[in-house]
Amino acid sequence: MRDVIRSSITESKGKEPEYRISVNGNISEESYSLARIHEMLIKRTTAVSGKSYEQTKKDYLEALDVIIGNIHDAENEE
């Protein structure tokens, strides 16, 4: 077994946490791994939300779009 995705959060006293993600592998391995992560999160959210899988997926992808947009905007301000 190989690690395709690794993530960590480094917290130092008095500093903002640093988020690190390392993605290693070919494009299909990376894509599949990321898709599986999202699919697992959607299933977990479906289990606690009381919504259908399709509605939860729709809500999740809308929220993900907002989050990615905010990250992109923040990085472009730097």
Per-residue pLDDT, 5:
83
- 76: three-class secondary structure by DSSP: helix
Contact 43/51 with Cβ under 8 angstroms?
no
Per-residue pLDDT, 14:
87
- 16: three-class secondary structure by DSSP: coil
Per-residue pLDDT, 35:
93
CA distance 58 to 77: 29
Domain count, the chain: 1
Does the pTM of the predicted model rise above 0.75?
no
- 5: three-class secondary structure by DSSP: strand
Residue 1 above 70 pLDDT? no
Query: What average pLDDT score do residues 3-20 get?
Result: 87
Residue 30 above 90 pLDDT? no
Residue range(s) defining the domain that contains residue 29: 5-77
pLDDT digits (tens, 9 = 90+) for 52-69: 999 999 999 999 999 999
